[in-house]
Amino acid sequence: MTHPIRHGGNLREAARRYAIPFDDWLDLSTGINPRGLPVPPVPPDAWRRLPEDDDGLADCAARYYGAPFALPVAGSQAAIRALPALLRRATAGVAPLAYGEYAPAFARAGHAIATLDITRRDLPDTLDHVIVANPNNPTAEHISRETLLHWHAQLASHGGTLIVDEAFADVDPASSLASETAREGLIVLRSVGKFFGLAGIRAGFVLAAPSIVDALRDALGAWTVGGPARHAVMAAFADIDWQRETRERLQRDGTRLAALIAGHGFDVRATPLFAWTPTPGAKELQHALALRGIWTRLFDLPGMTPSLRIGLPGAEGDWARLSLALQEVCA
């Protein structure tokens, strides 16, 4: 039997479990920017007309990411599900604590799954494909461009593929491999959900060589991203001032969140969009915060130290609420 893959953002489930009204919660269970882009009004034609691939969205995305080619998809999730079937069936390496969709998607397509140690300089010869997030979700580990390109060279030498999920990379564009994606065997996934705070529109991009872009386009079919979403994404890519100010704010807020959690004695790793802490009491900490209407994401895998991922609060009142809850829980 296939077990459901758990994600953050399951706030209605938490509301039912703890009998706290939905609107009374502070949801910190995802790594989504809580102060997302204010999307301009949607033109009426975006609702009435079928989306058109030649509306400039792909070119706009390629310019924003600094990539040679870009394919719009219904969130990077759509690509994660479809890509494994397009690759030679082989052994795929995935970190033991990573985004939960990678391994099942490759297994469903007939690939063998192996554990990936993302701290290694050299990949084992037994791996043919590697899927890694940079920074990693949830552990916040960052892999250097040099190491990733070294991995790609190793994999490409025997027809393998490196897939890098850069869902949390917008705050630090210099770390991206987007500019290198004309190389065969290198695929970068990008999302507008996290940095721009537009997770609900389900839009993302695959940056890769034409052979992969064309094959994936054929596999996914027409109209993968709807008209209103295309309008929102192009507005997001065009707002340079908002992007600059948001990068600066998220850097400050990420540092602030890490300091707040570390101040209560926890070991913390952080990105500008979330903090992660491994602690034996992670399950109890999640429960205690939930009793106070604050929802976080628990990772409790066999053989690993339990851990908690905590997203950014938005308004100052939300920061104060989290701070007070941590004081009470850790007193």
* 198-242: pLDDT as tens digits: 999 999 999 999 999 999 999 999 999 999 999 999 999 999 999
Map out the domains of the chain with their CATH numbers: 11-36+241-330 (3.90.1150.10), 44-238 (3.40.640.10)
pLDDT tens digits, 223-233:
999 999 999 99
- Report the pLDDT value the prediction gives residue 170, as an integer from 0 to 100: 97
Residue 8's pLDDT is 72
What is the mean pLDDT of the segment spanning 6-25? 91
The predicted-structure confidence for 262-277, as pLDDT tens digits, reads as follows 999 999 999 999 999 9
Q: Give the C-alpha separation, 123 to 209, whole Å.
A: 23
What distance in Å separates the CA atoms of residue 42 and residue 39, rounded to the nearest whole number? 8
Q: What is the mean pLDDT of residues 64-76?
A: 96
| pLDDT reported for residue 4 | 61
DSSP code at position 41: P
Q: Please give the pLDDT value at position 50.
A: 93
CB 111 within 8 A of CB 89: yes
CA 115 to chain centre: 20
Evaluate if pTM is beyond 0.85. Answer: yes
Contact 51, 71 (CB under 8 A): no
Give me the chain's average pLDDT, please.
95
pLDDT at position 9: 72
pLDDT at 1: 39
pLDDT of 191 higher than 60: yes
Q: Say whether pLDDT at 3 is over 60.
A: no
Looking at residue 189, its pLDDT comes to 98
**For residues 13 and 15, what is the distance between their CA atoms, to the nearest angstrom?**
5
Q: What's the mean pLDDT in 109-119?
A: 95
C-beta of residue 126 within 8 angstroms of C-beta of residue 95: no
- Alpha-carbon dihedral angle through residues 227, 229, 234, 235, given to the nearest 10 degrees: 110
Determine which helix (DSSP H) or strand (DSSP E) holds 116, and give its type and residue range.
none
CA 29 to chain centre: 13
pLDDT at position 65 is: 98
151-162 pLDDT, tens digit each: 999 999 999 999
